[in-house]
Chains A and B, each alone.
Chain A
Amino acid sequence: MIRFVPIADPPRGRVIWVTLAALVFALVVAGLIFLAAGTNPFEAYSAMLQGTVSDWSGWSEVLRRGTPLLLIGIGLTLAFRAQFFNIGAEGQLLLGAIAAGGIALFTPLPPLVMLPAMFVGGALAGGLWALIAAFLKTRLRVNEILTTLMLNYVATYLLIYLINGPWKGKNVRGFIYSDDFPDFAQLPTLPGTQVGWPTLLLGVLLAVGLQWFLGRSTGGYELRVAGENPEAARYAGISVSSVLFKMAMVTGGAAGLAGVGEVAGIHHKLLEPSQISSGYGFTAVIVAWLARGNPLLCLITAPLMGIILAGGDVLKINLNLPFRITDVFSGVILMSLIASEIFVKNRVKWGK
């Protein structure tokens, strides 16, 4: 019989090797799935690596996928620290995209102000979207997992309605797009790539800034107290709801920024939700989980997930694997990582 004996104070190194072991385990399980799908797993993994990290075009693909994951993941680390389980980053990203699109298409802003205004508008829209869930949680005690998840569908259909109806482009014939954004509402990209560098830069700055915020500011201290022991926060006179509201603006705002980056940097128009975000809001949960609540560590974990997503594209194209194989792949990784938590906090004993 297997028994788990709790470790009072797990050493830091243990987290690292358990996490690595969980990743290896996930790779083995995913390998068996590849095998079942008729592909040699070694061939699959080497194709993934070659298509992603061996040359600049591979890296550019990793960065394209990693940038929204970075922004969303950073915001989610903050939410998880506050024990606010935001699984609605997908919807918050779409709201950011909608706000950016609205500003780009329908406001007469001068070119110099346009992009900053789109970022600000997108962050506000995403933040307010998350604020709905935070408000319902603090005022009516509605579970935020349900509200954030459901708000994803509302955001999806809001966007579909807009591009089918009032915002449908004049020159797109039968397609459901908006018109293209004007040139000055399109993000500059790293040469030869689709990576909008302002978005990437924002992500890096936010990762550093929020890490500092958590550790060194009174606001970060309040957020950690409110998250780890709300009763103690109440006792110390820290308003848990006000902490949650601010946190919601940041976590939703970061997802909103990612949405702005996607439409202003890559598509240059509003289009169907599944084309704007291929589940970044959910994949970023893994990014935040892997980073264990540290915004700075997202600088490592986001590109890692970027490699897996971009590698999945390679598998689809080069090895003719089914379209959903990447979802299975990242799902296996997330399950394995979450399950590995027990090995971080417990020692395994065999026998009675």
Chain B
Amino acid sequence: MTSAHTATAPPVLELRAVTKRFPGVIANDKVSLHLNAGEVLALLGENGAGKSTVISVMYGLYRPDEGETLVDGRAVTIGSPAQALKLGIGLVPQHPMLVARHSVAENLALGGGSAFFPGRSVAGRIRELSEKYGLGVDPGARVSQLSPGEKQRVEILRSLLRGVRVLILDEPTSVLTPQEVGGLFQVMNELRKDGRSLVFISHKLGEVLEITDRVTVLRKGKVTGNAPTRGATRETLAEMMVGRSVSFERKRQTPDLKAAPVRLAAHDLQALSSRGLPALRGVNLELRAGEIVGVAGVAGNGQSELVEVLAGLHDLQGGQITLDGVALGRNARTIFESGVAHIPEDRIHMGTVPSMSVAENLALRDYAKPPLSRGGVRDLGALDSHARQMVNTFDISTPGVGTASRLLSGGNIQKIILARELGDLSGQGGAKVILAVHPTYGLDIGATEQVHRTLMDAAGRGACVLLVSEDLDELLALSDSIAVMYHGELLGPYDAATATREGIGLIMAGGAASTDGTPHGAGPGDLSVQAGPDEPNHTRGLKA
């Protein structure tokens, strides 16, 4: 797929040597890139590579410290999103920013409709554009009833209504099932045919190869590669992205677990979400010593509740949980003390206290126990020496143990959590169960590998690991078996050695048999979802 225009026309959007600094980091270091009319440009990079900063500069959310922005070859200053829209640049945010109680039309009339009955005035335009690009959006629908994919299409419509020529899609596939991604790509193709330019942000190589014309790769704030997509391969792109060749092999040899004792068993777990709706509907789960079980699923299908229930942070409506055959307590502290470590989804808001020092964060679990304190009095010397030991063992890079943890990088914050959860301060042999939720989200390759190694080592020592991740590659590389959370039920597990991305993706989208029969989250524009008889390993059920 090549550009419809000749190469002599100036790019519709160009950044020249844009630098943006934040305290302690250079988010963008002399970034230069351009976008031609009618092309899809991939902005590829790991989390933290500076992709978000680039699009924030394009959309007027940040002002660059240095460098130039050009639109149609003219230098411009984009001081605000309003100015960006005037220049024809629109952004589809990663998480839709819509008013849930209002209709689609009312949402899109915000900032553009008339004062009275704002929804009516734009409804016609919405239908027209929606048909033209195959978006399948009903202007009268309530936003609260839309699937993530549909909300995203509403956001695309918002930009189209403003007449943008450049559309920036910020990690648009991260909230979608593989099938919904197909629908999005169709829409992107229509937009490209119409001569509009798209910036597609992603760190998923397969998607980039499938939909884009050209790739600009960012690493640590710098542009490290720029190539036409045609002719590129996963390996060449990955090398540009991480700076060395990466293997996509399975990291793990599945151990023989038949003889291993069951460590964690959960039977018929029932729980409500924070909004009072059923979040877990009879989940059964069994983890053997040494086993790593992956949990896949589109966010919001009950994964968070499952982990929180197991960690004692969420009320259980029904069901039993046992650890080594003994009923597990229902209090976060006693559960940890009986050997359940928890690497939480949100390492800033739950896993650490960002304003506190590295040493105090390392003590979050054991602060009240010897040697860290005796009789309610804390021993600050023991606190520091324990922290220094952990910093060495887990290779945490920090100016000192007294440094506030918020000043550390995501990888080092994650290492603090790992050290605390798996560090075995009490000398009882460490965690028996590890609940790890998105443990490598936002980490660079080096830190990711260390996290993976730590989890596999723990499994090698006889712990069992429940690994919840949105990254199917990670699940396939680490797990012995993979289960899928769908609408509050845990489907599977399926043998990870033979599972495929496509097979798991189909089950995530509700393609497998589910008890209430109705497929959820499949909005208009999705690929049709069908459960084929040849899907992998449906037969290996989980009846304990």
Contact = CB atoms under 8 A, between A and B. Distances in A.
Interface of A: 5-9, 215-219, 221, 224-225, 228-229, 231-232, 234-238, 352
B342 A6 contact: no
A8 B24 contact: yes
B332 A237 contact: yes
Given A9-B404, A231-B350, A234-B313, A221 B332 contact: no
Closest 7 CB pairs of A and B: A237-B333, A8-B23, A237-B332, A229-B353, A231-B350, A218-B368, A236-B364
Nearest to B25: A8
Interface in B342-387: 342, 344, 346, 349-356, 360, 363-365, 367-368, 373, 376-378, 380
Nearest to A235: B350
A219 B407 contact: no
Given A229-B354, A237-B333, A352 B63 contact: yes
Contacts of B333: 236-238
B331 interface: yes
B59 interface: no
B355 A228 contact: yes
A140 to B, nearest CB: 17
B336 interface: yes
A5 B367 contact: no
A229 B376 contact: no
Nearest to A236: B364
A236 B313 CA distance: 10
Contact of B331 (A218, A228, A235, A237): A237
A218 to B, nearest CB: 5
Contact of A232 (B63, B331, B353, B373): B353
Nearest to B352: A232
A216 to B, nearest CB: 5
With a 10 A CB-CB cut-off, give which of A224, A229, A231 has the most chain B CB atoms.
A229
Contacts of B367: 218, 221
Interface string B244-278: 00000000000000000000000000000000000
Contacts of B352: 229, 232
B473 to A, nearest CB: 28
A237 B338 CA distance: 13
A46 to B, nearest CB: 42
A236 B376 contact: no
B154 to A, nearest CB: 31
11 contacts: A216-B378, A217-B377, A218-B377, A218-B378, A221-B378, A224-B353, A229-B355, A231-B346, A232-B349, A232-B350, A232-B364
A231 B344 CA distance: 11
Contact of A236 (B23, B332, B334): B332
Contacts of A234: 313, 332, 350
Interface in B310-345: 311-313, 331-334, 336, 342, 344
A225 B356 contact: yes
Contacts of B331: 237
A238 B331 CA distance: 10
Contacts of B355: 228-229
Contacts of B363: 221
A235 B378 contact: no
Nearest to A7: B23
A341 to B, nearest CB: 15
A218 B360 CA distance: 11
Nearest to A238: B333
B313 A235 contact: yes
B407 A8 contact: yes
Nearest to B379: A216
Nearest to A217: B376
B315 to A, nearest CB: 12
B313 A6 contact: no
A219 to B, nearest CB: 7
Given A221-B363, A236-B332, A238-B333, 18 more contacts: A8-B23, A8-B407, A9-B23, A216-B377, A217-B376, A217-B377, A218-B373, A221-B378, A229-B350, A231-B346, A232-B351, A232-B352, A232-B353, A234-B313, A234-B350, A235-B332, A237-B334, A352-B63
Contacts of A224: 353, 356
B367 to A, nearest CB: 5
A7 B407 CA distance: 11
A235 B376 contact: no
Nearest to B375: A218
Contacts of B344: 235
A228 B342 contact: no
Contacts of B313: 234-235
A216 B356 CA distance: 14
Interface string B19-53: 00011100000000000000000000000000000
Contacts of B24: 8
A112 B397 CA distance: 60
A237 B311 CA distance: 10
B88 to A, nearest CB: 23
Contacts of A231: 346, 349-350
B407 A9 contact: yes
B23 A5 contact: yes
Contacts of B349: 229, 231-232
B138 to A, nearest CB: 36
Given A218-B373, A221-B360, A225-B364, A235 B342 contact: yes
A129 to B, nearest CB: 27
Contacts of A5: 23
A184 B468 CA distance: 69
Interface string B174-216: 0000000000000000000000000000000000000000000
Contacts of B342: 235
Nearest to A6: B23
A225 B356 CA distance: 8
A225 B63 CA distance: 35
A219 B377 CA distance: 9
Nearest to B372: A218
Nearest to B367: A221
B350 A237 contact: no
A267 B174 CA distance: 69
Contacts of B22: 6
A8 B346 CA distance: 21
A225 B353 contact: yes
Nearest to B334: A237
Contacts of B356: 224-225, 228
Contact of A219 (B63, B346, B376): B376
With a 10 A CB-CB cut-off, give which of B313, B333, B336, B350 has the most chain A CB atoms.
B350
A13 B352 CA distance: 27
Nearest to A231: B350
Nearest to A8: B23
A231 B368 CA distance: 18
